[in-house]
Amino acid sequence: MMPRPSLLAAVAATLWLLIAGSAIAGDADTVTASNAWIRVLPGNLPAGAFADFTNASDHAVALTGASSTRYGQAMLHRSSTEGGMGRMEAVDKMEIPAHGSAKLSPGAYHVMLMQAKPAVVPGDNVVITLSFSDGSHKDVTFQARPANAL
């Protein structure tokens, strides 16, 4: 039995979208993430997520947010030691320069993960969806490590 013409049209349209989509690379496609990990703290304490990024494109890219099905909330934060006091604040983006790199790291930019459901323990692999300023998204697998990990 031959597929119905309407089904063929739907398949053709889908293929076209896939081809067109890959031709117009989003920021998520030009950014590579590595060494992605989460520092798990005891109890209900928020966990920091860290990773190294490189941007292969000719323009700067901005990481603007994160989400994960394993956490009720994920926010982009930046730690600092202004005036000798350790503090952190929510920020709306972290820039990754053209042909450059940037990192989420302890004491600097990080993704703050709150309300784990169920609890995340060292050894778990957690997928976090990262958002970029052009609206593109990238799923990155973060490995959960113990509180004393560096």
Neighbour tally for 136: CB within 10 Å: 17
The piece of 29-37, 59-67, 87-95, 125-133 that touches Cu ion (CB under 5 A) is 87-95
Task: Quickly count: other Cβ atoms within 10 Å of residue 16's Cβ.
Answer: 10
Q: Does 112 bind Cu ion (CB under 5 A)?
A: yes
Closest listed residue to residue 77, CA positions, set 52, 119, 39, 107: 107
Q: Which is nearer to Cu ion, 27 or 39 (CB)?
A: 39
- Smallest gap from Cβ 54 to Cu ion, in A, equals 23
Provide the minimum distance between the beta carbon of 88 and Cu ion in the complex, in angstroms, as a whole number.
4
Q: Total residues contacting Cu ion (rule CB under 5 A)? A: 3
CA distances from 76 to 16, 23, 134, 136 (A): 35, 30, 17, 16
Out of 54, 60, 67, 88, name the contact with Cu ion by CB under 5 A: 88
Q: By CB under 5 A, which span of 7-15, 88-96, 100-108, 137-145 interacts with Cu ion?
A: 88-96
Q: Is residue 108 a contact point for Cu ion (CB under 5 A)? A: no
Q: Does 77 bind Cu ion (CB under 5 A)?
A: yes
Q: Does 111 bind Cu ion (CB under 5 A)?
A: no
Residue 75 Cβ vs Cu ion, minimum distance, rounded to whole Å: 7
Residue 62 in tokens = 């901005």
**CB-wise, 70 or 77, nearer to Cu ion?**
77
| Dihedral angle over CA of 61, 126, 141, 60, nearest 10 | 10
The three-class DSSP label of residue 38 is strand
CB 48 within 8 A of CB 113: yes
Binding interface with Cu ion (CB under 5 A): 77, 88, 112
